[in-house]
Amino acid sequence: MARVAWLAAVAAVLAVTACSAARPAHEASPAPSRSATATAAPAPAPPAMPQRSGPPPVPGANYAAGGCGPRPLLSGALPTWTASANPPAMIYVLGRHQQVAGFLFGFPLMAGRPQPFTDKILWVVRSARHGAPLRLTGHPLNAATPVVRSSWSAGSSPGNIYPSDIEVPAPGCWRFTLAWHRHTDTVDLWYVAHR
């Protein structure tokens, strides 16, 4: 069992290292409104992918390394309700209530202003937007501050999507609450230090 845990930790480190060299260039997206306060202390290295006792929450999906909090990152098969948005085949996070999926264009995500890279996340929401913006509030998983806020318009298509580019001031596990037209969900995302 210890050998399996050790191999999983090595695989997670190799996956994060390999992905950090292949970040895509910045893609244009609508200008968000943002605000951030204070700076958090440096965070430890990302946790190894924990052993999961059950199948992924999406049939045909696989657990992916590099996540944090109670909801792991996923790859492979996508939730059927995201089909109208035609999301890309990449690592994604599924909201705690399975009402939102975030597709990580910049993986791993980097704290600060990771130029020339991007921390673009394409959010696909399960419920109709009805023209409402996506309002996002984030903070470190086990702390109330610092707080990051942003708002993204509902003017993108196809499907119920919100392109975003979220900057956090410090690495670590961040919890985000997303709200749109009477709906909310939460996700946890790991940010590494900008190199």
Specify the range with the lowest mean pLDDT, choosing from 22-26, 78-82, 158-162. 22-26
Query: From CA 12, how far away is CA 74, in angstroms rounded?
Result: 13
- Helix (H) / strand (E) element for 186: namely strand 183-192
- Residue 20's contacts (CB-CB under 8 Å, 6 or more residues apart) are 108, 192, 195
Greater confidence (19 vs 63) lies with 63
Mean pLDDT within 167-186: 95
Of 105, 77, 81, 104, which is closest to residue 93 (Cα–Cα)? 104
| Residue 148: per-residue pLDDT | 96
Classified by CATH at the fold level, domain 2-23+36-48+57-192 comes out as Immunoglobulin-like (2.60.40)
Q: Which pair of tokens denotes residue 53? A: 């006792």
Model confidence at 167: pLDDT above 50: yes
Q: For residue 195, is pLDDT > 80?
A: no
Lookup result for tokens 């610092």? 146
Global confidence as pTM: 0.74
| Per-residue DSSP letter, 14 | H
pLDDT confidence of residue 44: 53
Q: DSSP class of residue 86?
A: -
Please write the tens of the pLDDT for every residue from 33-45: 323 333 444 445 5
Residue 152 pLDDT > 60: yes
Q: What percent of the chain has pLDDT over 70?
A: 72
pLDDT of residue 54: 82
